[in-house]
Amino acid sequence: MASRLRAIRPLLDRVLVQRVKPATKTAGGILLPESSAANELKEGEVLAVGPGRRAANGELVPMEVKSGDKVMLPEYGGVSVNVGDGNEYALFREDELIGVLQGK
């Protein structure tokens, strides 16, 4: 299934992201209720990026994110991508991403 994922090449200013599932228990082994997971930041890891978007004058505007970046995702949006491996993937436009998480 991973080969099917590698076959996806985002176009223009699109970003392929693997969603990070919220933690279900703490490092000490305490189980967290589902309500706490719903309040966590929506995070993901950038797997692939497109070349960028075209400005009005036709010049290519390069992407600000790159593969491997950890990003904050909006609560809604993106296009779900299902490759059948049990992970959650989505395509977003770069301007839909909320931010890049530093030091993660």
Which string of b and e fits 72-86 if b means at least 16 CB within 10 Å? Answer: ebeeeebeebeeeee
* CA nearest to 13, candidates 43, 49, 41: 49
Complete domains list, the chain, with CATH: 2-24+31-99 (2.30.33.40)
Paired residues of 31 in beta bridges? 25
In which band, very low, low, confident or very high, does the pLDDT at 2 lie, cut at 50, 70 and 90?
low
pTM score, two decimals? Answer: 0.76
Predicted confidence (pLDDT) per residue in 42-95, tens digit: 889 999 999 999 889 989 999 999 999 999 998 888 888 887 777 788 999 999
Say which residue, 25 or 18, is predicted with more confidence: 18
